[in-house]
Structure 1
């Protein structure tokens, strides 16, 4: 499998969860939360689609591309990461990486200029610290950032 552009060999037991494999490889931004696929703290992009890595066995990801929150960055923060930072859409930060991955996938699959209600539906992860107000603001800001014309380099 390829994680954030780095080719990794999968060695270990066939029932090893992807979240555990990634953490053993040093990808600590992938958090272990509920172990049931409910909270979203372990969300990664698997071939560009958000998946909860606590619900995927690592061998199932062999031959696929995985991106973590660190892996979507370019020279700087990804627009979704920037929006979360600028809108203070975090508190303790435990859930932030999972939210960023879920929102990134969502905004890649819909028209970023979608209405507010549609954008609110993208907030499927759980946060134990905030009231989601700033998270929803960040989703809206990320949608604007992603739909803005890109400046030539």
Structure 2
């Protein structure tokens, strides 16, 4: 496994740090105490294009690599933010990038890239496996041109 050094991607690091500096520790503590969601922070990251890092350019994203996306998340955490509040916006849409039809990509990816649409939820945990995704029991089988999903989820993140 190749690691990313702190010296790699300095332009991304500097830009993300500068944006994060607009949201001091007090902002994040207040959100955390209220058990809230850092709406303004995520919106600022979205408007700056950081949440669309992995969306291909032809759909309004930056078309960055997974390494670059990881650096964005790393710098959010280093700056006192919580990347857990926004990583879904960056990674969950990858299901559409990788498996969506062209019509779905055209419909959804530009909206996600602009922030008009948020897609952050993940249904991962199961009664017998928790969030250990290497042990998931849920299956999806293609049948008659549709996907048939069998399994049970017990917790879904970021559903309002």
TM-score, normalization by structure 2? 0.29
Q: Which structure shows the bigger proportion of residues in helix conformation? A: 2
The structure having more radius of gyration, on CA atoms, is 2
Using CA pairs under 8 Å that are at least 6 residues apart, name the structure with larger relative contact order, 1 or 2: 1
